[in-house]
């Protein structure tokens, strides 16, 4: 079983559209994240949720809205997609406490045309 799974793996869409990426973890972790990796491979944190509560919200445009229906799920909805949103989006989870290892999903390659 995949520990952190995200769908879809590839997402190709037109500018102006609205799209969602789903993420689920079966590790029992309390904390989940969204990271964006651009074409230069920079990994930048976007959001972090702890047990359904938003704890980190970086300077991300408000077109990006995370939603956590329960602590095993963290979805990312993006409104009015722009060319600059093209990137790989990684979901990740980690347990609370000293063991802070991040477990990443396989990534979603978003291409905005």
Partner 1 sequence: GENVEQHPSTLSVQEGDSAVIKCTYSDSASNYFPWYKQELGKRPQLIIDIRSNVGEKKDQRIAVTLNKTTKHFSLHITETQPEDSAVYFCAARGGATNKLIFGTGTLLAVQP
Residues in contact with partner 1 by the rule CB under 8 A: 40-45, 48, 56, 90, 100-102, 104-107
**Residue number with CB closer to partner 1 (15 or 55):** 55
Collapsing DSSP states into helix, strand and coil, what is residue 60?
coil
β-pairing, 108-112 vs 53-57, is unpaired
Question: Residue 54 or residue 102: which is nearer to partner 1 going by CB?
Answer: 102
H/E stretch holding 52: none
Query: For residue 110, what are the CA distances in angstroms to 48, 86, 101?
Result: 20, 5, 26
Nearer to partner 1 by Cβ, of 64 and 90: the residue is 90
- Residue 45 CB, nearest distance to partner 1 (Å)? 6
Report in angstroms how near the CB of residue 44 gets to partner 1 at its nearest. Answer: 7
Q: Which two tokens stand for residue 59?
A: 């300077």
Residue 69 CB, nearest distance to partner 1 (Å)?
A: 23
């Amino acid at each position: 079983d995949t520990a952190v799974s995200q769908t879809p793996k590839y997402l190709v869409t037109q500018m102006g559209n609205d799209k969602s990426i789903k993420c689920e973890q079966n590790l029992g972790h309390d904390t989940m994240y969204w990271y964006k990796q651009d074409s230069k491979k920079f990994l930048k944190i976007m959001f972090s949720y702890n047990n359904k509560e938003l704890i980190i919200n970086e300077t991300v445009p408000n077109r990006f809205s995370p939603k956590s229906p329960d602590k095993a799920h963290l979805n990312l909805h993006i409104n009015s997609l722009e060319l600059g949103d093209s990137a790989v989006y990684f979901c990740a989870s980690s347990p609370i406490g000293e063991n802070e290892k991040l477990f990443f999903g396989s990534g979603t390659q978003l291409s905005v045309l």
